[in-house]
Structure 1
Amino acid sequence: MSSDRAAPGVSWEELVADTPAMVRAALPMLRWRLDLLWQLRLPVQRLAVAQFDWLLDLPLWQRDGRRFQVTPRQVLAAPDRFGDHLRRVLAAELDFPIHAVAHHDRLVVLDGYHRLARATFEGRREIAAMVLSRADLDGICRSG
């Protein structure tokens, strides 16, 4: 497995503790389940890519087995330095919508940062998105 895709497994508590403050402030720090997220059947909307631009500055991606080391914007600005991430960005399927949710009065991406980066890289103005309600988000959260 690529060094830029895998990071050692940690507990939820360790993950939250390691999450940079800027990421914790920007995103809902809830333990939601990806499998349940992907099972949601919500209407697909076309949203402006520009409204998510600020998220590209969050250190969301890992490098050399360490989480929170690389921003999507760094990959777009210097793709030769981040080959594994660039390959994922370019392979991202834009026909598959991103998942977003309102948090602190603006939409944030839960799943789909490589798709967002590809849309940005290609200069697209819109991206397909499923927007979760707070009840949808609560419904995919793990208990305990």
Structure 2
Amino acid sequence: MVQRRPFPLLAERPASLDGVILDSHWDLDRLHALSLPEREVSISTLEWHLYLPFWAAGGRPFQVSPAEVASEPSVHPEQWARTLAADLRYPLDTYVGAERRLIILDGVHRLLKALVEGRSTLRLRVQKADSFDAVAVPVQE
């Protein structure tokens, strides 16, 4: 098992994100390089993510939820621009967490964009929770 670098903003993470954001730092390029099967799921399966404070505002992390950005895009122009620029050709990356719920590792902006566009389904890839070493950033890096 790889000794993983702790998530950089762990002390600032609100309790509502416990069990959602991983406790260790992971590498996006390593995640995207994994060969994982894709499947289509209903957006309603993932919609609960939109009510969690994933995104930064005013230079501070974990201040705003995607739902808040969607309801007031002019108040959160940076996150709204990122949402509109999200490329839905790429699947979301997820894992199965507690209560067998799909949890998004990468793709919350894509989820919001799909919802705004009126889509009912999205493609995703599911990483096994016991294989996080494949994307973990080791302590020595």
TM-score (norm 2): 0.87
CA contact (8 A) 2:6 2:23 kept: no
Deviates more, 1:43-52 or 1:29-38: 29-38
Measured in 1, the distance between the counterparts of 2:7 and 2:86 equals: 30
Aligned to 2:25: 31
Written as runs of structure 1 = structure 2, the 5 A alignment for 1:71-110 is: 71-104=65-98, 105-110=100-105
Q: Assess, with a 3 A threshold, how the Cα gap between structure 1 residues 13 and 97 changes in structure 2: closer, same or farther.
A: closer
TM-score (norm 1): 0.85
CA contact (8 A) 2:97 2:129 kept: no
* Structure 2: segments with no counterpart, 5+ residues: none
Aligned length: 134
Written as runs of structure 1 = structure 2, the 5 A alignment for 1:2-41 is: 12=6, 15-41=9-35
State whether structure 2 residue 94 is matched by structure 1 residue 68.
no
CA contact (8 A) 1:75 1:81 kept: yes
CA contact (8 A) 1:27 1:103 kept: no
Q: Assess, with a 3 A threshold, how the Cα gap between structure 1 residues 115 and 14 changes in structure 2: closer, same or farther.
A: closer
Match of 2:114 among 119, 122, 136: 119
For residue 28 of structure 1, report the CA deviation from its aligned partner: 3.2
Deviates more, 1:104-113 or 1:42-51: 42-51
State whether structure 2 residue 137 is matched by structure 1 residue 142.
yes
Name the SS for the 1:68 alignment partner: strand
Measured in 2, the distance between the counterparts of 1:85 and 1:65 equals: 12
**Going by fraction, where is helix more abundant, 1 or 2?**
1
* Structure 1: segments with no counterpart, 5+ residues: 1-10
Deviates more, 1:58-67 or 1:31-40: 31-40
Offset from partner CA, 1:53-84 (integer Å, 9 cap, x none): 11111101101210001100001111121111
Identity across matched positions, percent: 33
Aligned to 1:47: 41
User: Bigger relative contact order, structure 1 or 2, given CA contacts below 8 A and separation 6+?
Assistant: 2
Measured in 2, the distance between the counterparts of 1:117 and 1:61 equals: 12
Measured in 1, the distance between the counterparts of 2:18 and 2:28 equals: 18
CA contact (8 A) 2:93 2:107 kept: yes
